[in-house]
Amino acid sequence: MKIASPNKKLKTEWIFLIIAVLLYLSVYFFQADKMLIILKAYGKLLINILPIFIFVYLIMLVSNYFVDNKILKKHMGESGTLKGWLIAVVAGIISIGPIYMWYPLMQDLKQKGVKDRFLAAFLFNRGIKLQWLPILLAYFGLLYSIILMLVMALLSVPQGLITERLIALSKRTK
């Protein structure tokens, strides 16, 4: 299993920023008059987002303090129960970090007998980013954010079931 090392990932992220800066500098060659306008818009975006950054950081801190991966792992092992679904949904919602950081745990859970439907539901619910909720709220409003989160959480169950069914059908046809 080859997963990008943290250092390699960090490099990629800085390369992304460098590319963005280079793209910005390239504006000089075709629309130089827009450079200052872009910079002002960038500053405005940064100022608008700063208080949310602080709030997001606090959420990250609290979730890191209270959420224990071992507990998640233990309860997600219960297959076919409502509790199992609830754990898959909630764990997906509260999980943080890039998806590939969760692959080893997913693999481990799979080997321990956790059904594919729970793993799929967990991964679908990672779409609901609790730590980024203030930003979603700031951009799209409370009503939209609540409905989106509820719809995603509910649809993660049939998504998990369909995924597992398709895998079973695929294996049967082989």
Partner 1 sequence: MKINKQKLKQANKKAQKAFLKVLPIILGMLLIVSMVNNLVPKSFYSHFFSGHIFSDSLIGALLGSLLMGNPISAYILGDGFIKNGVSLVAVTAFLTAWTTVGIIQLPAESIVLGKEFAIFRNLTAFVMSIITAILTVYIMGFFR
Query: How many angstroms separate the CA atoms of 7 and 24, rounded?
Result: 26
Measured CA to CA in angstroms, residue 104 lies from 2, 78, 110, 128 at distances of 11, 19, 10, 21
Q: Are 51 and 137 within 8 A, CB to CB?
A: no
Burial class (CB in 10 A: 0-12, 13-18, 19+), 92: buried
Q: Give min distance, CB of 23 to partner 1, in A.
A: 7
Identify residues 118-137 at the interface with partner 1 (CB under 8 A): 119-120, 123-124, 126-129, 132, 135-136
Size of the site for partner 1 (CB under 8 A): 72
Binding residue for partner 1 (CB under 8 A) from 28, 50, 57, 79? Answer: 57
Choose one: 70-78, 82-90, 163-171; the region binding partner 1 (CB under 8 A).
163-171
Report if residue 50 touches partner 1, rule: CB under 8 A.
no
Closest CB to partner 1 among 83 and 100?
Answer: 100
Report if residue 159 touches partner 1, rule: CB under 8 A.
yes
Query: How many angstroms separate the CA atoms of 20 and 42, rounded?
Result: 12
Q: Give min distance, CB of 115 to partner 1, in A.
A: 11
